Amino acid sequence: MSQTESPRWRIRRVHENRCALLPQFDCGKLASREGLPVEIYTHKSKSKVFAKATNGNIHFSGCIPLSGSTTYLAVEDVETDHPTVSSKTKPRILTFGRTFSILGDVELIPAYKLPMRKCIEQTNTRAKDERSFGERYEDFTKNFGTKTLQNIIKSRERLQVSQTSAVASASETLNETIVEERAAPAPVPEDTVEFPQRNAEFTSAKGVYSVHEVFSRIDAECFDNYAANNWAFEVVNKDKLIEWAANDTYSKYVLQRLGQVSKNENLRKMQLRCLAAYDIFTYIYKMKVRELRSRDPMPRVEEPYKTQIMDVFSRVIMDGKGRGLRTISMKAKDKLVAHCLLLQLLLEDFRVDLSLLQNDVKAATTRLTNVAFMLGCHVLQGRSPSGITTRTVVLKLPLYQYKGEGGRRKSRSGK
């Protein structure tokens, strides 16, 4: 071809930092007016290129390394978003080692042939089998199973009883009726135990609480019998106290205080009554669920006082099967702690070390101090010679004004 018929093009520039991708679909040429969009993804090392395309049902994907290209694309305008060649000619693909001629001023861009392979989207057209595994097993055994397995299936079908017939037969036999379960849960009864109430008028710390307030809901005879049966005056001696302490039979405070009871008959009776109540209350506080729901939760307390005490400090809730389960709420445990602390204050002249109660109930210090604040007591914090922090509960006037967990409190160290 002569220069007059087709003027020779000139190479303006050969690009090294740019490249062109030439997708080649393995299904041949695709006729489309709008073309098939191809999404290009470059590896973070910029050494590979990933591409994908789709027309709705058929998906294409391809991957090639970007190195060592021997193919170039001749384009006229590289700076535009879509490089184009001369309007008079089609784009030329140039390969080294071949004879070619170019026309006009063009630029060469390295080109890579990107093979695009198709993958047809799989659709699950199989109908879902709604039968259970047992039903499918029976169907398979009837059609393909051995004679022995088929006989087993037939025997099971012959002996099978419908659920309705079984319920009707059981109801007629036991003379019961089917009761539908209630949708709403059974109402939870309120705690019957109350927080110790203060006297209406008092002029000293001794008049704030009455000892009868602790025994207002339970007969005092219960605690008198408990003390008489377990702590007879002639039985309680030093050796017996050591034995009880080794076996953890009674509360630590009770064992410490039993050796200090008064010799006065009336005063000794009142002190033993308070110690008996304290021991029973701490025992109930430490009860676990299994012990609380056993047939005999308090073996050392006799009837009918055992039932009376449990009804005061615990409650019965109904489960889904209609059974009554006994439980103790957290509020009831706080009230148990309040009764125990009040008994200690009455026995120790309204000033007691908080660790005595904490060693018996194993409760957190914050919880015990909050109960002391609710009783109107002051909690004095100090430090022993060995460096251990001590807290002393003192009931004195004016009483401590407790405003709850989030409210501001007055100074804990009263004058």
pLDDT tens-digit series, residues 264-303: 888 888 888 888 888 888 888 888 888 788 878 887 887 8
Tens of pLDDT, residue by residue over 187-242, are: 444 454 567 777 777 788 888 887 777 776 677 788 888 888 777 655 567 777 78
Other C-beta atoms within 10 Å of 104: how many? Answer: 15
Enumerate the H helices of 88-185 as residue ranges.
133-144, 147-159, 163-174
**Is 317 strand, coil or helix?**
strand
CA separation for the pair 241, 256 (Å, rounded): 8
List the domain boundaries for the chain.
10-120, 134-161, 205-349
174 vs 215, residue with greater confidence: 215
Residues 6+ apart with CB under 8 A from 310: 284, 297, 298, 326
pTM confidence score: 0.51
CA separation for the pair 321, 269 (Å, rounded): 46
**Is 101 strand, coil or helix?**
coil
Environment class of 351 (CB within 10 Å of its CB; exposed 0-12, middle 13-18, buried 19+) = middle
Residues 6+ apart with CB under 8 A from 314: 284, 292, 326, 327, 328, 332
- pLDDT at residue 28 in the model: 62
Q: How confident is the model at residue 169 (pLDDT cuts 50, 70, 90)?
A: low
With CA atoms as reference, report the closest residue to 70 among 108, 107, 96, 49.
Answer: 96
Q: With both helix axes pointing from N to C terminus, report the angle between 354-361 and 330-347 in degrees, rounded to the nearest 10.
A: 140
Report the half-sphere exposure of 161 (CA within 13 A, side-chain side): 8
CA separation for the pair 281, 393 (Å, rounded): 19
